Amino acid sequence: MKTIFLVLANLFLFSTVVLYFWNVAVAGVTPNPTTFLIRAIVATMNCFSYFTVVNKDYLLLSVALVSTFSLTVMFLYALVRGRLTKLRTVDVVCAIAALIIGVIWKSTGNAVLANLLLQAIMLLAFYPAISGVLAGIAKEKTLPWVLATLCYVCMILAIITDWHAGAWYSLVHPVVSGICGNGGLAFAIWWKNTNK
């Protein structure tokens, strides 16, 4: 079952990436620079600590790797094409907070604690995008974020179906970044679109 859920997770993630690229290139979607920059950097660090957290399971790590690569390419594409929203004070505050947590992350030698701290940064990174959507500054579409949330639902199901005693912390990344972050942004976009 674990393999099936992880294949589904990667299919949802691949669909998310293709659709989001299309939305940025053609439909005028404007990604938040702070959200994408922080997530691209932190996702890279997350791959290293999460690999330890999931007991060096390459299959579980595959979702994190695809996500990291996609975030980085998407950020660079939007930057080069000038599709990013303008920086606001909230973006700078979130970037500074992420940097502070990152320094704490770097000072710890514990992979599990480091991974948990990275999840705090990942969640914080969604705030500028969510606030930009709610303020009407950023243009986003709901579907890619729903697909991304479904990707992490499948990842959670994969972890649960192959449960290791005491591995609760392997669920933190998909719950925080996947469900709370992606799901929160999807909800904010839906809310803004239905309350115009």
The single residue listed with the structure tokens 């959507």 is: 133
- Which residues are within 8 A (CB) of 167 and not within 5 positions of it... i.e. 6 or more apart? 54, 55, 159
Q: How far, in Å, CA of 22 to CA of 26, rounded?
A: 6
Q: How far, in Å, CA of 179 to CA of 152, rounded?
A: 7
Tokens of 168: 């609760």
Tokens of 65: 């790797």
Task: Give the model confidence (pLDDT) of 52-90 as tens digits.
Answer: 766 777 777 788 888 888 989 999 999 999 999 999 998
pLDDT surpassing 60 at residue 47: yes
Dihedral of the CA atoms 67, 147, 188, 122 (nearest 10)? Answer: -20
Give the per-residue pLDDT at 189: 97
pLDDT surpassing 80 at residue 185: yes
CB count in 10 Å sphere of residue 103: 10
Give the per-residue pLDDT at 172: 86
Of the candidates 33, 43, 44, 17, the residue with the CA atom closest to the CA atom of residue 122: 43
Give the per-residue pLDDT at 111: 66
**What percent of the chain stands above pLDDT 90?**
49
Of the candidates 67, 180, 192, the residue with the CA atom closest to the CA atom of residue 142: 192
Mean pLDDT of 17-44: 90
